[in-house]
Structure 1
Amino acid sequence: MGGPGQDPHKQFVAEIENLNVVEHYSVLDNVEERLLAGIKS
């Protein structure tokens, strides 16, 4: 049979680190400013 499984705590900590590295970006970022700038011009 296989050996012991991976430590869930270590997996969780590694996933948190991976999520912290990823910078969130959305096309809706600053949409209010862009919309108002388009209306003013």
Structure 2
Amino acid sequence: MGRTQSQWENVVGADSASLKIVKTYTYIESLTDSVQIVVTK
């Protein structure tokens, strides 16, 4: 679910401000996925 972090880095490239936002979003998304896995069990 969602992109991997390396794919996001390739999309964003050298824009470090966007990269920071993307890394934060990816982290939050992975937490959300973990919560959903726990809830569905």
**Which bin holds the TM-score, normalised by the shorter protein?**
0.3 to 0.5
Which has the greater radius of gyration? 1
Normalising by structure 2, what TM-score? 0.41
Give the number of the structure with larger relative contact order, counting CA–CA contacts within 8 Å between residues 6 or more apart.
2
